[in-house]
Amino acid sequence: MIDYSIGKTIFKDYKLQRYIDECAYGKVYLVKNEIGIPFALKALHKDVEMEKRGMASVMKLQSNRLVSILDYGKTVADQDCILMVY
């Protein structure tokens, strides 16, 4: 189990603000970029390959019914993560 510290950088230039909730594939956190804009960051803990396939499909679509995926990478703890619109 990985615990991230509030106020610390968790992914690229995004700082953790608070824990939001857990979903089937990971934990979701509220993060803010360096100018204070909020984003949702999902840190994946299982079925990473399946989530990546779904993410690739979603990134090809534009719909107001889907959450926009902005970036993908690794957290500071080397955990796969997805950055999304909050």
For residue 5, give every residue at least 6 positions away whose Cβ sits within 8 Å of its Cβ, in sequence order, or none.
16
In a domain, 61, yes or no: yes
Q: Express each pLDDT in 18-30 by its tens digit.
A: 999 998 888 999 9
In a domain, 4, yes or no: no
Is 77 inside any structural domain? yes
In terms of residue numbers, what domain contains 36? 9-85
- Residue 81 CB: number of other CB atoms within 10 A? 26
For residue 37, tell me if it sits in a domain: yes
Compute the mean pLDDT over every residue in the chain, rounded to the nearest whole number.
Answer: 87
* Residue 2 included in any domain: no
- What's the whole-model pTM score? 0.83
Output the domain CATH number for residue 32: 3.30.200.20
Domain assignment present for 66: yes
Query: How many folded domains does the chain comprise?
Result: 1
CA-to-CA separations, 86 to 42, 53, 69, in angstroms, rounded: 11, 21, 10
pLDDT, position 59: 66
